[in-house]
Amino acid sequence: MLDILKEITTSLPKSKISAAAFEGANIVLYTKDEKYVFEGTSDVKAIVNKLKKRIELRPDPSICMDMEKAEKQIKKLIGKEAGIGEIHFDPQRSCVIIEAEKPGAAIGKSGEKLLEIKKKTLWVPTIQRTAAIKSQIVENIRSVLYENSDFRRNFLHKTGERIYNGWLRQKKEEWIRITYLGAAREVGKSAILLQTPESRVLLDCGINVADNKAPYPYLEAPEFKIDELDAVIISHAHLDHVGFLPYLFKFGYRGPVYCTAPTRDIMCLSQLDLVKIQVNDGQDPIYTSEEVKEMVKHTITLNYEEVTDITPDVRITLYNAGHMLGSSMIHLHIGNGLHNILYTGDLKFGKTHALSQAACTFPRLETLMIESTYGGKDSVLPPFKEQDEKLKSMIEETVKRKGKVLMPVLGSGRAQEVLIIIQDMIKNKRIKEIPIYIDGMVWDMTAIYTAYPEFLNNTMRNRIFHKNDNPFLYPNIKHIGSRKEREQLIESTEPCIILATSGMLVGGPSVEYLKKIGDDPKHSLIFTCYQGPGSLGRRIQQGERSFSYKEKGNFLTTEIKLQIEKFTVTGHSDRRELMNFVYRCNPKPKRIIINHGEPKQSADLASSMRRSYNVEVNLPRNLDALRLK
């Protein structure tokens, strides 16, 4: 047994503790003494205060009530009004997950129902919200976790051993180094390797969907050794940050992946969608659903502002980034106060319809690694009102022409923002009610939004919980679930709005619609997100008015005659917001590293930050390494 576990067990009354194990950075003690489960809490509290570690006391699995009986008991104790769904037991860890439509009612006043369940059954209950929209894929993700209960207990214990086992490597001096394996002077393939004398940590592992020449991060860099990697931390679920992650599992990585729960669910969706698109395009997929499953099994989810050790000398905290559901900025505390880094991932330092603005107060901060997607001198977003009016009139004009509005969207985040905006126009009677068809992974994504309302901003949470006004559930939303339904929609003459992935027109249903409706001027095409260089979306924005493709062995061309517009609802900060974020950052960073932007955007932002804040600003290229300490 490891020293820390020994120290804990010997400081508790003899014979009370039957087992001690790690669950990542947390420590779990098991007892076979039914009374001690409740009476032992004060003993445990004393150790928590002494060691400053999260320690939980649980009943030993052998004394938990028989599962069938426990299920009946749980249903009786919670009562019908909570709308109990499925109940999943995790027999290795004495835990039970109870799905409920109304978590509040299931938990009871200050948790009284949960305590009652624990007392009666000796299972430790957690309540999980039932998603208001059913999604097969979300259920699959959850069942992967439930089915691998044995594996999870071992994996979490091993992860804890790595954290607590002390140093693997000889520590001769202290240094910190980061290497850009991607996303330096480009938007795409975010992957940054952090090295300390003890740890190897990867921040994000994305692909560049728009770049055919170098779509994947430079894992061949000499610094990167997959078998030495301790942990991967994911900022958010967009493919340019997670698209390459299952590939690590294909090549043997078996360590933890840290992210928020919505990020885990959404990244699975995006990765499986990517595989599907590659197969449909006749390519060999870079990985399969097996590797995605492996990734899920190795994921450890964290809440915002939950502090956790991930190696002996790296402690992380995720902060809200305001960019999409579950998006985080990663704060890394290295060594014992040696250095603090904030990696922003993609951030929105401004309010959106669904999310709160990014956090800007941190316990300590020396190095800031910040995105620069809209960092250029002229990257100032038009006022929302102006855009909103433009979208409104575009929809109205298209409806008048009896056309369809095709909006290519990123599955995650932007699509839901667009949905809320249009639904609010209808609700406030600014436009007539119009059907909104949702194709591609946007549907499943919307399901995830309804499953994690606690990650939405206050206004949206209130609408959903207290006013029963969930814009994702209005009856005009329709799901396109098959090729046949898509064909029927294309054939129909009914004016409508179509939200379809991919957002840059690089494969997926959005391209399928464009092939069929692109040559008819009564329809319109509205871009909603950044269009990467080389993507069909960017080419159309630059004036290309036809595109060719292969269909059933024939080469076909579609002329582009529909009305084209841009409606920028971005989850990114524009230049003013980026500058403002650094201005508001508390404490002020001593060094700023600019990444995740096209060369000109990054360079513009770097020079402005240098001038305004008088700190060291770096503008690395891919494969550059920087020593931070």
Please state the three-class secondary structure of 203-235 as a single string: ECCCCCCCCCCCCCCCCCCCCCCHHHCCEEECC
**Comparison of 153 and 238: residue with beta carbon closer to Zn ion:** 238
Least distance CB 329 / Zn ion (angstroms): 12
Q: How far apart are CA 128 and CA 621, in angstroms?
A: 43
**Comparison of 27 and 267: residue with beta carbon closer to Zn ion:** 267
Interacting span for Zn ion (CB under 5 A) from 343-351, 476-484, 577-585, 601-609: 343-351
**Comparison of 137 and 242: residue with beta carbon closer to Zn ion:** 242
Least distance CB 457 / Zn ion (angstroms): 18
Interacting span for Zn ion (CB under 5 A) from 144-152, 338-346, 473-481, 560-568: 338-346
Interacting span for Zn ion (CB under 5 A) from 111-119, 184-192, 231-239, 424-432: 231-239
Least distance CB 345 / Zn ion (angstroms): 7
Which residue type sits at 193?
Answer: L
Q: Beta 200-203 vs 591-595: how paired, if at all?
A: unpaired
Interacting span for Zn ion (CB under 5 A) from 214-222, 264-272, 346-354, 379-387: 346-354
Question: How many amino acids of this chain bind Zn ion (CB under 5 A)?
Answer: 2
Interacting span for Zn ion (CB under 5 A) from 12-20, 236-244, 478-486, 553-561: 236-244
Candidates 380, 389, 386, 326; CA nearest to 354 is 326
Degrees, nearest 5: CA angle 611-614-616: 105
The tokens describing 5, both together, are: 């576990």
Beta strands in 11-101 (DSSP E): 17-23, 26-31, 55-59, 84-90, 95-100
The tokens describing 200, both together, are: 């190897």
Provide the angle, in degrees to the nearest 10, between the axes of the packed helices 136-147 and 289-297. 60
Site string for Zn ion, 173-202 (x = CB under 5 A): ------------------------------
The tokens describing 269, both together, are: 């969706």
Q: How far apart are CA 133 and CA 128, in angstroms?
A: 14
DSSP string, 568-581: ---SS--HHHHHHH
Candidates 443, 444, 455, 450; CA nearest to 468 is 450
**Comparison of 238 and 339: residue with beta carbon closer to Zn ion:** 238
Interacting span for Zn ion (CB under 5 A) from 201-209, 233-241, 467-475, 481-489: 233-241
Least distance CB 346 / Zn ion (angstroms): 4
Least distance CB 243 / Zn ion (angstroms): 11
| H-type alpha helices, 165-305 | 239-242, 245-250, 261-280, 289-297
Decide if residue 23 touches Zn ion (CB under 5 A): no
Interacting span for Zn ion (CB under 5 A) from 313-321, 341-349, 384-392, 599-607: 341-349
Decide if residue 204 touches Zn ion (CB under 5 A): no
**Comparison of 410 and 447: residue with beta carbon closer to Zn ion:** 410
Least distance CB 602 / Zn ion (angstroms): 16
Residue with tokens 């003690």: 29
**Comparison of 243 and 518: residue with beta carbon closer to Zn ion:** 243
Q: Which of 129, 189, 200, 238 binds Zn ion (CB under 5 A)?
A: 238
Q: Which of 346, 439, 444, 604 binds Zn ion (CB under 5 A)?
A: 346
Q: How far apart are CA 516 and CA 558, in angstroms?
A: 8
Identify whether the C-beta of residue 587 lies closer than 8 Å to the C-beta of residue 362: yes
Site string for Zn ion, 400-419 (x = CB under 5 A): --------------------
Least distance CB 323 / Zn ion (angstroms): 6
**Comparison of 238 and 298: residue with beta carbon closer to Zn ion:** 238
Least distance CB 210 / Zn ion (angstroms): 14
DSSP string, 2-29: -HHHHHHHHTS-TT-EEEEEEETTEEEE
Interacting span for Zn ion (CB under 5 A) from 1-9, 51-59, 124-132, 339-347: 339-347
Torsion of CA 612, 617, 621, 627, to 10 degrees: -170
Least distance CB 357 / Zn ion (angstroms): 16
Least distance CB 168 / Zn ion (angstroms): 34
Candidates 618, 104, 557; CA nearest to 367 is 618
What is the Cα 566 distance to its own chain's centre?
Answer: 26
**Comparison of 190 and 199: residue with beta carbon closer to Zn ion:** 190
**Comparison of 238 and 486: residue with beta carbon closer to Zn ion:** 238
**Comparison of 121 and 373: residue with beta carbon closer to Zn ion:** 373
Q: Which residues lie near Zn ion (CB under 5 A)?
A: 238, 346
